């Protein structure tokens, strides 16, 4: 049996590895000249400055039950933990930090401290069990009580829940910043799920960044795949399923819009109609800067954080997210900013720095957000503009040109609203009505982010169908015994180490700005 994976994003590579470990000959076909999809890095501004084109910060990769079982460190992946996962500055020089320590985080929250600690501590303790259930398609949960506790808090609209649970501006703003990663209006049910997921991940695995940029994740996955006998072919756009040898197993790391394009004729009409009804969410406007100095934060504690959420209060963050959803431009957008070179000196020449940021905008928006984003940075870091040596911007259409999966600038392969959260893109999820044709991208459960779990679960579905094994109700990674898998030959390893690739705050490099 020969298998082809269309697309070399983290899910495509995870699917290919899962198939290769099952002894299947697999080739990954990538449209672009470079591999990695949403995990690519390049010198976007000036020579010597390395920027992450898409993903930069990886709590989900760190939490991934699949990635944590792969020997990625042997293939060059090295995680760096900034001393503080995230910071959320507020006007007047205040800032609230999401520390790895729940206690230290709670200590900043005044009257909300005890409640924050009481809610977050037990869920943090069960994080890895929770992630096995959350980063999986709908199933009978392996840890029903932990999941029920999480679900009872996750199902709420983030803004309502923040107002019910917390009294102070700090706790509300911190939670709003986390929840805004959902790219949903914070008034929408289940937007709180993202707030908890990202908040809890900060306390459990930190928010690490890969040394050298997110390209290192793709390179490590591809090298490991090659060690298993798999191949990755860049410059190999699949325009039609007819490009692929008949009878092959095909896993598509693409979204419904592209599946309709390349497989349109092969798909029954009822399924095509369902794919056409699939909804993409708001897009993003992306910025990268080469800087001649670190960002001059008014509150210097922000320099210890890998990620900084710029948007002020809960109300301001909610207004920005609502605008993007409603097709409007927000004058003071919520900005997600990362400052990798503070913790990974190889990203910029000596004494110089990089910064990465984006804000949510209406899908396909042509509005240049440069001055609005820079005004938000300047608001919390006066003098920022004077540090800029060069800037690089990407409109949603330019992101889509860079990677066809970023439809209208949607970075999650489709909106994560409630009706598309669990069953995406259709109720059959990874399976299509065409035999041996599967979807494995972020448009399938558990959705967007660099975790590889869509690819892993899609490949498992394909292996299940191929082997005609009885359906297993609990898709936790530990319960699945793969057919005999070849060991990675040591000669291919870039640096031999016994460690697993899971970056826990205690075992990874602790960088200091
Ligand atoms: C600006 C931005 C910032 C982000 N920040 C983060 C972050 O900090 N942390 C995080 O966890 N996630 C982040 N994400 C999201 C993350 O990058 C994606 O959710 C993730 O990459 C999805 O993985 P995937 O494998 O499903 O698809 P992708 O990574 O999008 O890969 C799809 C691949 O398929 C290829 N392809 C498409 N069509 C074809 C075809 N016809 N033939 C051959 N190849 C094809 C594409 O070129 C691409 O390489 C960000 C995304 C963006 C755009």
pLDDT digits (tens, 9 = 90+) for 259-311: 999 997 899 999 999 999 999 999 999 999 999 999 999 999 999 999 999 99
- Does residue 9 have its Cβ closer than 6 Å to ligand 1? yes
pLDDT at residue 503, rounded to an integer:
40
pLDDT at residue 138, rounded to an integer:
83
pLDDT digits (tens, 9 = 90+) for 330-347: 999 999 999 999 999 999
Which residue among 5, 14, 37 is best mutated to probe the pocket of ligand 1, counting the most ligand atoms within 8 A of its Cβ?
37
Asked if 464 contacts 444 with a C-beta cutoff of 8 angstroms, the reply is no
**Cα(452)–Cα(423) distance, integer angstroms:** 17
- Report the share of the chain in percent with pLDDT over 90: 85
Ligand 1, closest atom to CA 412? 19
- Does residue 213 have its Cβ closer than 6 Å to ligand 1? no
Compute the distance from residue 122 Cα to the ligand 1 centre, in Å: 33
pLDDT at residue 132, rounded to an integer:
87
- Does residue 412 have its Cβ closer than 6 Å to ligand 1? yes
Residue 498 reports pLDDT greater than 60: no
CA nearest ligand 1 atom 34, residue:
7
pLDDT at residue 209, rounded to an integer:
98
Compute the distance from residue 146 Cα to the ligand 1 centre, in Å: 30
**Mean pLDDT value of segment 477-494:** 34
- Does residue 244 have its Cβ closer than 6 Å to ligand 1? no
Asked if 301 contacts 322 with a C-beta cutoff of 8 angstroms, the reply is no
pLDDT at residue 128, rounded to an integer:
87
Compute the distance from residue 35 Cα to the ligand 1 centre, in Å: 10
**Cα(371)–Cα(368) distance, integer angstroms:** 8
Ligand 1, closest atom to CA 455? 25
Looking only at Cα atoms, what is the longest distance across the chain? Answer: 64
Q: Residue 495 — pLDDT band, cuts 50, 70, 90? A: very low
Ligand 1, closest atom to CA 57? 8
Record the tokens describing residue 400, joined without a space.
């889509």
DSSP state letter for 98:
E
pLDDT digits (tens, 9 = 90+) for 49-100: 999 999 999 999 999 999 999 999 999 999 999 999 999 999 999 999 999 9
How much is the mean pLDDT over the chain?
91
**Mean pLDDT value of segment 196-225:** 97
CA nearest ligand 1 atom 52, residue:
54
Q: Which of 96, 482, 459 is nearest to 253 (CA)?
A: 459
- Does residue 86 have its Cβ closer than 6 Å to ligand 1? no
In this prediction the pTM is 0.91
Lowest mean pLDDT, pick from 118-132, 151-165, 171-185, 349-363: 118-132
Compute the distance from residue 140 Cα to the ligand 1 centre, in Å: 29
Q: Which of 141, 122, 310, 306 is nearest to 204 (CA)?
A: 122
Asked if 284 contacts 411 with a C-beta cutoff of 8 angstroms, the reply is yes
pLDDT at residue 265, rounded to an integer:
86
Compute the distance from residue 281 Cα to the ligand 1 centre, in Å: 15
List alpha helices for 135-280, DSSP H: 144-154, 158-165, 169-179, 191-204, 215-227, 256-263, 269-277
Q: Residue 506 — pLDDT band, cuts 50, 70, 90? A: very low
- Does residue 55 have its Cβ closer than 6 Å to ligand 1? yes
Tokens 């808090």 locate to: 153
């Amino acid at each position: 049996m020969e298998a082809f994976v269309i697309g070399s994003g983290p899910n495509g590579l995870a699917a290919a590895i899962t198939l290769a470990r099952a002894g299947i000959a697999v080739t990954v076909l990538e449209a672009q000249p470079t591999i990695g999809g949403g995990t690519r890095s390049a010198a976007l501004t000036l020579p010597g400055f390395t920027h992450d084109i898409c993903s930069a910060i990886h709590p989900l990769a760190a939490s991934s039950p699949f990635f944590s079982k792969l020997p990625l460190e042997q293939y060059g992946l090295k995680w760096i933990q900034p001393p503080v996962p995230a910071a959320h500055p507020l006007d007047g020089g205040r800032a609230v930090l999401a520390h790895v320590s729940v206690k230290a985080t709670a200590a900043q929250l005044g009257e909300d401290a005890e409640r924050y600690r009481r809610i977050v501590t037990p869920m943090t303790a069960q994080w890895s069990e929770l992630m096995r259930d959350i980063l999986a398609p709908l199933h009978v949960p392996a840890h029903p009580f932990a999941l029920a506790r999480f679900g009872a808090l996750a199902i709420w609209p983030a803004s309502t829940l923040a107002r019910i649970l917390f009294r102070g501006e700090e706790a509300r703003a911190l939670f709003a910043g986390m929840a805004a990663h959902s790219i949903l209006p914070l008034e929408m049910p289940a937007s709180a799920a993202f707030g908890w997921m990202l908040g809890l991940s900060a306390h459990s695995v930190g928010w690490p960044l890969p040394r050298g940029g997110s390209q290192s994740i793709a390179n490590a996955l591809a090298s490991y795949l090659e060690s298993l006998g798999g191949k990755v072919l860049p410059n190999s756009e699949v325009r039609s399923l007819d490009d692929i040898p008949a009878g092959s197993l095909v896993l598509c790391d693409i979204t419904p819009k592209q599946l309709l394009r390349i497989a349109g004729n092969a798909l029954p009409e009822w399924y095509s109609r369902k794919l056409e009804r699939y909804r993409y969410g708001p897009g993003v406007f992306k910025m990268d800067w080469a800087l001649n100095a670190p960002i001059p934060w008014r509150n210097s504690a922000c320099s210890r954080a890998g990620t900084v959420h710029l948007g002020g209060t809960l109300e301001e963050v909610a207004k920005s997210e609502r605008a993007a959803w409603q097709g409007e431009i927000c004058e003071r957008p919520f900005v997600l900013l990362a400052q990798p070179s503070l913790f990974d000196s190889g990203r910029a020449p000596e004494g110089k720095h990089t910064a990465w940021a984006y804000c949510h905008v209406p899908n396909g928006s042509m509005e240049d957000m440069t001055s609005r984003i820079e005004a938000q940075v300047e608001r919390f870091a006066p003098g920022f503009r004077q540090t800029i040596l060069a800037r690089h911007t990407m409109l949603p259409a330019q992101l889509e040109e860079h990677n066809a999966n970023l439809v209208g600038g949607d970075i999650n392969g489709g909106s994560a609203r409630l009706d598309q959260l669990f069953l995406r893109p259709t109720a059959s999820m990874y399976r299509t009505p065409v035999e041996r044709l599967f979807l494995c991208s972020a448009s399938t459960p558990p959705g967007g982010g660099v975790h590889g779990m869509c690819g892993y679960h899609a490949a498992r579905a394909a292996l299940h169908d191929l082997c005609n094994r009885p359906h297993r109700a609990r898709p936790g990674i530990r319960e699945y015994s793969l057919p005999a898998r070849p060991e990675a030959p040591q000669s291919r390893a870039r640096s031999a180490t016994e460690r697993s690739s899971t970056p826990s705050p205690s075992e990874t490099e602790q960088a200091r700005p």
